[in-house]
Amino acid sequence: MSRETWFAPQGGTSDEWLAWANRLPLADDLGMTCGRLGDGEGVFHLARAPLTPNPNGGVNGGLVAAAADQVMGALGMMEAPDGHAIATASLTVQFQRPALAPLTFHGRTTKRGRTLVFIDVDVLDGDGRLCSSAKGTMMVVPFAQP
């Protein structure tokens, strides 16, 4: 994805942000789709595990963490000013039960400062049960010049 494509939604409509989130390469790699993105919230879906599931049938915890980080990055980018990007400053994931696909990732921006964005993500299984919860801090950084 080119830098221009990455920053295309700045000042865009909610439909433009949604289209952008669904073009992100890592979301594609993970098999995630974004169903809603705006007003400090995002909902992403993971229909199946992109790699072999754990012996218990659950999605690997590292993949759950990567998917939660992807949700946080998308929400954080909506808060970043033009010419800036988002970098993960911290990420904590708690696993409450096996994450059996399909999974829904519901993210919420909880606080926005000048250089930091705080985001929570709940991971729900197909029955709506909480599997994992993630908290992250995203850092607003100037986009690196080539």
Whether the pLDDT of residue 118 is over 90: the answer is yes
How far is Cα 100 from Cα 103, in angstroms, rounded to an integer?
A: 7
- Against a cut of 0.85, is the pTM above it? yes
Q: Which residues pair with 94 in a beta bridge?
A: 133
19 burial via Cβ count (<10 Å: 0-12, 13-18, 19+): middle
| b/e 54-63 (16+ beta carbons within 10 angstroms → b) | eeeebbeeeb
Largest CA distance in the chain: 46
How far is Cα 101 from Cα 126, in angstroms, rounded to an integer?
A: 7
- Measured in degrees and rounded to the nearest 5, phi and psi for residue 21 equal -60, -35
Q: Could you report the per-residue pLDDT of 7-18, keeping only the tens digit for each?
A: 546 777 888 889
Whether the pLDDT of residue 1 is over 50: the answer is no
Whether the pLDDT of residue 99 is over 70: the answer is yes
Whether the pLDDT of residue 131 is over 90: the answer is yes
